[in-house]
A and B are shown apart, each in its own frame.
Chain A
Amino acid sequence: MAGVAGGGGGGGGNDFQWCFSQVKGAIDEDVAEADIISTVEFNYSGDLLATGDKGGRVVIFQREQENKSRPHSRGEYNVYSTFQSHEPEFDYLKSLEIEEKINKIRWLPQQNAAHFLLSTNDKTIKLWKISERDKRAEGYNLKDEDGRLRDPFRITSLRVPILKPMDLMVEASPRRIFANAHTYHINSISVNSDHETYLSADDLRINLWHLEITDRSFNIVDIKPANMEELTEVITAAEFHPHHCNVFVYSSSKGTIRLCDMRSSALCDRHSKFFEEPEDPSSRSFFSEIISSISDVKFSHSGRYMMTRDYLSVKVWDLNMENRPVETYQVHEYLRSKLCSLYENDCIFDKFECCWNGSDR
């Protein structure tokens, strides 16, 4: 498994100093293709960290409880569960292989002892239940200790099975499989604040699902032109608003964000709000279109702001102001002069994610 970073450290004053608190995985350069991590996601409490890789596996890390006897291990993450989420598939109709690479993982808010997450590859979304088992029932009436059925005529007395502790076992089981709804490659999934529905977005369409229903989904956005030759932009990311279950946003490869309200119409092809920053003509180059493509969009926890990531910068938008972002941060501006080389070696197509900290700072 390729390395992944842990949290960060604090510095003095206004300057934050970031450092790795934990690194997991192989340090040497020789990493198998299948082990390359393709997505990471913390759960709501931060106790669990899920990672998906190119080989279709999901590895979940759990933060150790801080205890007084080991004050220095400040919540170390260790492997909690590993399972194969997706396998490579073959679409015979189109003669195409469907990659097993996990594109996104999203946790569901926890409602009982078990944890649920959605994981998706290019075409299929799966709902996984991760549950712990640390007790085992012993003393069945109809079964022997090794599981063999007992002859009912031999049973002369009845007893109540007793629960005995056992080594912790973490089981992952697929509870729902949401398939065959996307012609293009799925790039985002987002769980709604109603905890009942979620959306999945591919390059041209966004579908709305109910978590209990796998054989149907509603198409809520469709930007496919009647004539594919006229295609100029694709959907790159989508997310539900954290509080308003009827509102979601989606970003495009042209650097625009559209906010849609599902109450206005069944098909949200017309946006309620349109966010775009006018292009700076002095920085135009052959690659302006590529670097303005938004790779990730995230609402703040408050729901008042959203953050977008394009190739070189992070922008913070106020939902009430559509004509420009309120803050812009250049992440690696020094790469602007190297765009041609980055285009050549394909690095310009890398997609970065962004994320708010817990207090939206």
Chain B
Amino acid sequence: MEFRLEAHRIVSISLGKIYSARGQRGGLKLHKNLLVSLVLRSARRVYLGEPGGECALPPRPGPPPPDCERLRRGCRPLGSEPAAARGRAECLAESPRKRSAAERGQAAGSPGKKPRREAEPPPPQEDMETGNVASLISIFGSGFSGLLGKERGAAEASEPGQVCCEQPVLRSLNPWSTAIVAF
């Protein structure tokens, strides 16, 4: 479960890296971008719950990372989406890590998106966000359009999960990708 949250975070960080690599002095660094795209691919696989994605990860020993812990606690009562979103925003604010454009857009976007969240059912939501991500990758990662092809196929094949925490995560994914596309 926490794999998916971690995977989601890693996906957004990776996309942020691919985006910022475009403006780097000295041109595209093939090695680094290849590694980032590999991480992105395995994180997406885990996030979408594909077979071979989760199996690739060992059962995590020790305590889960703190932000995922808080999120889990926040979303245990079913449907308490505002609490979960607040919890996530808190985690992001408290974290001393450098925040990528993705996270900034997400934190800013989630309160505003609350009314919209209630109305939309998960399946079209997921397709929309996958479409956004796929187009993002085609825009930003011109050398790895094979990744794009695999992801489109993967999105069609996967089923929307029924896990309680998926709702807030999915919903918050939308403003995030909108924010990046706006760049």
Measuring CB to CB, which residues of chain A are less than 8 angstroms from any residue of chain B?
94, 96-99, 101, 122, 184-185, 187, 203-204, 227-234, 236, 253, 281-287, 289-290, 293, 337, 340-341, 343-346, 349
Contacts and interface: CB of A to CB of B under 8 A. Distances in A.
21 contacts: A97-B25, A99-B25, A99-B26, A185-B30, A204-B30, A229-B144, A229-B149, A234-B31, A234-B34, A284-B57, A285-B58, A286-B10, A286-B39, A289-B39, A290-B35, A290-B39, A293-B31, A340-B9, A343-B10, A344-B97, A346-B17
A229 B145 contact: yes
By Cβ-Cβ distance, the 7 closest A-B pairs, closest first, are A229-B146, A99-B26, A96-B27, A203-B30, A290-B35, A289-B38, A234-B31
Nearest to B99: A344
B157 interface: no
- Majority secondary structure, B binding face: helix
B98 A231 contact: no
B177 to A, nearest CB: 19
Given A286-B10, A343-B10, A343-B13, A231 B144 contact: yes
Nearest to B143: A228
A232 B10 CA distance: 20
Interface of B: 6-7, 9-10, 13, 17, 25-27, 29-32, 34-35, 38-39, 42-43, 46, 56-58, 62, 65, 97-98, 100, 143-147, 149
A282 B59 CA distance: 9
B53 to A, nearest CB: 10
A122 B31 CA distance: 13
A340 B65 contact: yes
A234 to B, nearest CB: 5
A285 to B, nearest CB: 7
Most chain A beta-carbon contacts within 10 A, residue among B31, B32, B42, B58: B31
- Majority secondary structure, A binding face: loop
B13 A185 contact: no
B172 to A, nearest CB: 18
Nearest to B144: A229
Contacts of B10: 286, 340, 343
A122 to B, nearest CB: 6
A185 B39 contact: no
A344 B34 contact: no
Given A343-B13, A344-B97, A185 B56 contact: no
A282 B58 contact: yes
B91 to A, nearest CB: 14
Contacts of A282: 58
B24 to A, nearest CB: 10
A286 B34 contact: no
Contacts of A99: 25-26
A285 B35 contact: no
Contacts of A344: 13, 97-98, 100
